[in-house]
Amino acid sequence: MADISLDDWVATVAAELGITGLDVDTEQVLDLASVAAHSVVRPAAPLTTFVAGLAAGLAGGSRDGLRKAIQTATALCERQGNDG
């Protein structure tokens, strides 16, 4: 399974967790992780993406909701990076 694409991996994890119809832009999520890692601290990357995903899920789970949550979290990380 070492050659699995990230999109396939996300679909596999989602299925294992009982999530159907997942529509996620993995590049957006990875970009958020990168900004969090470089603007805050490295361990902020998975935590920030988790919280953004949770916020999107609580808001209804749409692709647009995830995009908005990622934009908000990205802006926060960038502000944090500018403060340091």
Domain-embedded: residue 14: no
Domain-embedded: residue 4: no
Domain-embedded: residue 68: yes
Domain count, the chain: 1
User: What domain range includes position 34?
Assistant: 23-83
Domain-embedded: residue 38: yes
Predicted pLDDT at 22: 87
Domain-embedded: residue 3: no
Rounded distance, CA 25 to CA 7, Å? 8
Q: Is the pLDDT of residue 84 over 60?
A: no
pTM: 0.88
Domain-embedded: residue 16: no
Mean pLDDT of 43-58: 96
Domain-embedded: residue 5: no
**Binning pLDDT at 50, 70 and 90, where does residue 58 land?**
very high
Domain-embedded: residue 79: yes
DSSP string, the chain: -TT--HHHHHHHHHHHTT--S----HHHHHHHHHHHHHHT-TTHHHHHHHHHHHHHHHTT--HHHHHHHHHHHHHHHHHHHHH-
> What is the residue-averaged pLDDT of the chain?
93
Mean pLDDT of 8-31: 93
